[in-house]
Amino acid sequence: MRPTVRFLSDQLIEQIIAEARQLLCKLGVEIHNDTVLALLGDHSARIDNSAQRAYFTPDIIDRSLQAAPDSFRLYNSLGNEAVDLSDMNVNFTPGSSAINILDHESQHSRRPTSKDYVKYTKLMASLEHIASQSTAMVPGDVHEMISDSYRLYLSLMFCEKPVVTGAFTIEAFEIMKELQLAVRGSEKELAERPLTMFSCCPTAPLKWSNVTSQNLIDCARYSIPVEYISMPLSGFMAPITLVGSLVQHTAETLSGLAISQLTNPGTPVLYGGSPAVFDVRYETTPMGDIGTMMMDCAYSEIGKHLGLPTQAYIGLSDAKLLDAQAGFETSMGATLAALSGINNVSGPGMLDFESCFSLEKLVLDNEICGMVKRMVGGIEPKEDFPSLPRFEELLREGHLLISEHTMKYLKEEVYLPGPTIDRANRSRWQEEGSRTLGERAAEQVETMVAQHQPVGLSDTVLSDLTSLMEAEARRHGMSRLPEIR
C-alpha cells in the first residue's frame, strides 16, 4: 500500500471549488494583457476593458478542465523520459531563482556567479533523487536582461536533466524557446518531448500581470508545460484561514488554466503554487511554516480531484545556514509532499524564503528525497510468506547476511544514504575527523562535481546554443559571456 495523507474531505474540496468558481464568475479576474482579455472575450467571458477585468463563465472553466491532460512527461536533453508527472508519482526539483548563494567557505550569502551556476548544474547531473534541474540561481555577472535565459543556457550546456524554469520578462521567452529548439531540432519534437517547464505566477488577489499571462500564452503556443504558481499570503493578501486561502488559490489557478487551455487545448500544465502563511511578527512569508505546508498538500488534493497533475514549493527552509532548522523544515515538507503525491516538488537546496541557494544543502536534500521516495514505496511483502523457511534458515545459519533473500532485496528494501549522512559509530566518526554535516556535504559537492561528464549533446548543438546565447548577450550590450570552462 502506498502511504498517503489527506487534509480535505471530498465534500470540503467540492465546496472550495464551487466557491472559487463563483469568485471567477461573479468577481472576475484583473488581467493586464489585452491579448488574454480578447481571448477570454472570444469565449464569451464578459470583459470590462476599462477595468481590465474578465468575468469567467462556468463553460470556460469546464472546457479548460476537460482539455487539460491528466498527466505528462518531461524528457532530458537527449530525448529520454526523465520525469513522469502522473498519478501519485513524486519527483523532486531544486528550488528556483535564488537571489543569493550560501558560500560554503565564508558561510555568508552572496550573489551567485556563472561559475557557481556551472558548479550547480554539474552537481545536479549526479544527484540521483532529484529528477529535474531548475534554474536555481540568478547569476549576477551577466546583464540583467539575459539573467533568466542565461541560466537555461548554462543548464543545457552541463546537465542533461529537464529544466524547471521561468522568464522574468515577455521578451526573454523568445530566446528561451530558441535554446530549446536548438536542442530538440523542431517545434514538433519539442511539443512531443517537453524539455522545460515554466513557472507562471498570478498576483494575489485574483490578478494576472502582463508579463506572466503573456508567458502563459507563449508557452501554450509551443506546448511548453507550465506550472501555475499562485501565492495567497494568508492573513495579508488572502483570508487568514487555510480554507479561505485555498478558495483564492483555486480561483487563481483555474484562471491560469483557462488562459492556457483556451490558447492551446491540451497543453500540459501543473496545478501548482507557493502559498504562505504571513508571519505577522517579522513581515515575512515563511515556507517552513506548518500552515504553508498544509496548504500545499491541500491544494494538491484539490488539483488531483480536478484531474490534474500537481506541483508545490515545499521541502525548503527559511533558515539562513545549513542548520537543524534547515534540516527539519525541509524534511517535514518533503515527507508531507511525498505522502500527498505532489507530482513535482520544488524545494531542494533552498533557504531563506526562496532567496538563498546552498549546494551543500542540495546534497543533503538529495538524501532526504531518497528517503521519502523509499517511504512512499511503502511496505510490501517480498517473498515473505510463508515465513517459516526463512526463519529456519536464520536459525540454521545464525544470520541472514548472505541469504539469497537478503541479496535479492537489500537494495530495494534498505535506502542507503550517501556519505553526507552520518551512520558511523562514534569512534569511527572521531577517527575520520569528527566532521560536521556541513563539512561532509561540502566534500560530497566537490567529489560529485569532479566526476562530471560532458553532456551527450552533439558539438553542433552545443555550439548552436552558444551562438544563440552570445547573440542575445550582444543584443544587450555584452560583447562576450563570462568564462565558464
Report in angstroms how near the CB of residue 47 gets to another protein at its nearest: 22
Distance CA 341, CA 290 (A): 18
Q: What is the crossing angle of helices 242-263 and 210-221, to 10°?
A: 50
The binder of 140, among another protein, ligand B12, none, by C-beta within 5 to 8 A per type, is another protein
* Grid cell of 88 as nine digits: 501519485
Tell me the window of 5-13, 197-205, 292-300, 428-436 that interacts with ligand B12 (CB under 6 A): 197-205
Nearer to ligand B12, 61 or 172 (CB): 172
DSSP state of 406: H
Residues numbered 78 to 107 that lie near ligand B12 (CB under 6 A) are 96-99
- Please report whether residue 140 would count as binding another protein according to CB under 8 A: yes
Report in angstroms how near the CB of residue 81 gets to ligand B12 at its nearest: 26
The binder of 281, among ligand B12, another protein, none, by C-beta within 5 to 8 A per type, is another protein
Nearer to another protein, 134 or 267 (CB): 134
Distance CA 354, CA 343 (A): 20
Among residues 63, 89, 168, 171, the one that binds ligand B12 under rule CB under 6 A: 168
Report in angstroms how near the CB of residue 155 gets to another protein at its nearest: 17
Amino acid symbol at 245: S
- Please report whether residue 241 would count as binding another protein according to CB under 8 A: no
CA separation (Å) from 79 to 158, 164, 450, 468? Answer: 15, 16, 25, 21
Distance CA 145, CA 247 (A): 35
Nearer to ligand B12, 96 or 444 (CB): 96
# chain residues binding another protein, by CB under 8 A: 24
Quick one: how far is CA 297 from the chain centroid?
14
- Per-residue x/- marks for another protein, 29-68, CB under 8 A? ----------------------------------------
Among residues 285, 310, 346, 366, the one that binds ligand B12 under rule CB under 6 A: 285
| SS (HEC) of 405-417 | HHHHHHHHHCCCC
Report in angstroms how near the CB of residue 354 gets to ligand B12 at its nearest: 4
Distance CA 341, CA 77 (A): 26
Q: Are 188 and 194 in contact (CB under 8 A)?
A: no
454 upstream amide cis, omega within 30 of 0: no
Residues numbered 28 to 67 that lie near ligand B12 (CB under 6 A) are none
Q: Are 130 and 124 in contact (CB under 8 A)?
A: yes
Residues numbered 204 to 233 that lie near ligand B12 (CB under 6 A) are 211-212, 231
Distance CA 356, CA 137 (A): 8
Contacts of 46 (CB under 8 A, 6+ apart): 28, 54, 55
Report in angstroms how near the CB of residue 199 gets to ligand B12 at its nearest: 5
- Please report whether residue 449 would count as binding another protein according to CB under 8 A: no
Output the CA angle 275-280-281, nearest 5 degrees: 130
Nearer to ligand B12, 226 or 298 (CB): 226
Nearer to another protein, 233 or 457 (CB): 233
Pair type for strands 350-351 and 356-357:
antiparallel
Among residues 30, 116, 148, 360, the one that binds another protein under rule CB under 8 A: 148
Report in angstroms how near the CB of residue 287 gets to another protein at its nearest: 13
The binder of 359, among another protein, ligand B12, none, by C-beta within 5 to 8 A per type, is none
- Please report whether residue 310 would count as binding ligand B12 according to CB under 6 A: no
Report in angstroms how near the CB of residue 38 gets to another protein at its nearest: 21
Instruction: Write phi, then psi, for 184 (nearest 5 degrees).
Output: -85, -25
* Grid cell of 229 as nine digits: 504558481
Host H or E run for residue 399: none
Q: Are 482 and 142 in contact (CB under 8 A)?
A: yes
Best CA proximity match to 348, nearest among 165, 160, 154, 133: 133
The binder of 96, among another protein, ligand B12, none, by C-beta within 5 to 8 A per type, is ligand B12
The binder of 111, among ligand B12, another protein, none, by C-beta within 5 to 8 A per type, is another protein
Interface ranges with another protein (CB under 8 A): 99-100, 111, 138, 140, 144-145, 147-148, 168-169, 203, 209, 211, 233, 235-237, 280-283, 353, 355
Interface ranges with ligand B12 (CB under 6 A): 96-99, 138, 166-168, 199-201, 203, 211-212, 231, 283, 285, 353-355
